[in-house]
Amino acid sequence: MSETMLFSAAIFVFTMMLIGLGLTIWDFMRGEPRAQRIARAGEISGRERATRRKAA
């Protein structure tokens, strides 16, 4: 394998790793964990409303 082909393969692999890292970061910022936090916040506010109704 020539040096040029090896360098091209290394650049390709490095680019794929960067894309994967970027998608992983994006997924953790926008994906399921964020949706779970939003759902939990809704449950808490729903419980507070139910408690307030019983107290009134």
User: How does pLDDT run along the chain (56 residues), one tens digit per residue?
Assistant: 799 999 999 999 999 999 999 999 988 887 666 667 777 777 665 555 556 566 65
Q: How many CB atoms lie within 10 A of CB 54?
A: 7
What are the residue boundaries of the structural domains of the chain, listed by start? Answer: 23-56
pLDDT score recorded for residue 56? 57
Distance in angstroms (rounded) separating the CA atoms of residues 46 and 24: 32
**pTM greater than 0.85:** no
What number of CA atoms fall less than 13 Å from residue 27's CA on the CB side?
6
